[in-house]
């Protein structure tokens, strides 16, 4: 059976196509005073929609994303001197955002452990979120029961629509590791959701990039 096309990646990081280039902004954001503040503001303006979309897709609709967004930009500005060449910033934004999403998931898991916060209780939170479809609620409630790494693998692949190569580069692990994690995460999630899953080798043939 042919594999359906992957979900659209409407959220690819914005390229340096605006009036002021990314390189110029990265340079200005490492300056002083008002110049730096204005450059940082412009960078936030350009990337906030992308960061918000990526965080919402990975963390789900029940997580408050304002703090993670601030953390993304805080880390981004702190690391600007390391971005070489400056035009590589969009890819860097993706990496930082995924890292922050990963940490947020880990923190959430830790706090749940500490507060004996059963995963089932998420259902109550989910129930209170308006305008969320049953599919979305089921998906993220099930994903919340996975490990942070598995949660991230499955959302980056199936919700954000990243290729395996992209995931490998962004997560900083080998392609084989990405595949292994994804296989395990998909099987676990499918079981939680009650969806049938093909055996892994068959699935990798279908999803060969």
**Is the CB of residue 155 less than 8 Å from the CB of residue 143?**
yes
Q: What length does the chain have?
A: 209
Residue ranges in 73-112 that form contacts with another protein under rule CB under 8 A:
73-74, 77
DSSP assignment of 70-125, as one string?
Answer: HHHHHHHHHTGGG-SSGGGHHHHHHHHHHHHHHHHHHHHHHHHHHTT--GGGHHHH
155 vs 38, 75, 95, 140, CA distance in Å? Answer: 34, 22, 15, 9
Side-chain-side CA neighbours of residue 187 (13 Å): 11
H or E element in which residue 55 lies: helix 33-59
Nearer to another protein, 49 or 172 (CB): 49
Q: In the complex with another protein, which residue's Cβ is closer, 34 or 114?
A: 34
Interactions with another protein, residue window 33-62 (CB under 8 A)? 33-38, 40-41, 44-45, 48-49, 52-53, 56-57, 61
Q: Which is nearer to another protein, 70 or 174 (CB)?
A: 70
* Shortest Å, Cβ 71 to another protein: 6
Distance CA 149, CA 106 (A): 9
String of contacts with another protein for each residue 144-173, x by CB under 8 A: --------------xx-x------------
Q: Quick one: which segment of 18-26, 92-100, 145-153, 186-194 binds another protein (CB under 8 A)?
A: 186-194
Binding residues for another protein (CB under 8 A): 1, 3-4, 7-8, 10, 32-38, 40-41, 44-45, 48-49, 52-53, 56-57, 61, 66-67, 69-71, 73-74, 77, 131-133, 135-136, 138-140, 158-159, 161, 186, 190, 193, 195-199, 202-203, 206
């Amino acid at each position: 059976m042919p594999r359906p096309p992957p979900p659209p990646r409407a959220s690819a990081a914005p390229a340096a196509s605006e009036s002021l280039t990314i390189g110029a902004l990265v340079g200005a954001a490492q300056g002083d005073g008002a110049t730096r503040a204005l450059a940082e503001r412009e960078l936030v303006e350009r990337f906030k929609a992308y960061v918000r979309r990526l965080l919402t897709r990975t963390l789900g609709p029940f997580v408050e994303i304002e703090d993670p967004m601030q953390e993304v930009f805080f880390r981004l500005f702190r690391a600007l001197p390391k971005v070489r060449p400056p035009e590589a910033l969009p890819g860097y934004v993706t990496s930082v955002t995924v890292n922050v999403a990963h940490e947020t998931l880990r923190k959430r898991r830790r706090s749940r452990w500490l507060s004996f916060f059963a995963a089932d209780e998420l259902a109550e939170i989910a129930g209170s979120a308006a305008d969320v479809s049953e599919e979305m609620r089921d998906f993220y409630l099930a994903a919340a029961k996975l490990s942070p790494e598995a949660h991230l693998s499955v959302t980056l692949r199936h919700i954000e629509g990243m290729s395996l190569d992209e995931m490998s580069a962004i997560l900083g692990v080998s392609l084989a590791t990405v595949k292994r994690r994804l296989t395990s995460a998909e099987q676990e999630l499918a079981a939680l959701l009650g969806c049938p899953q093909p055996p892994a080798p068959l699935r990798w043939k279908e999803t060969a990039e």
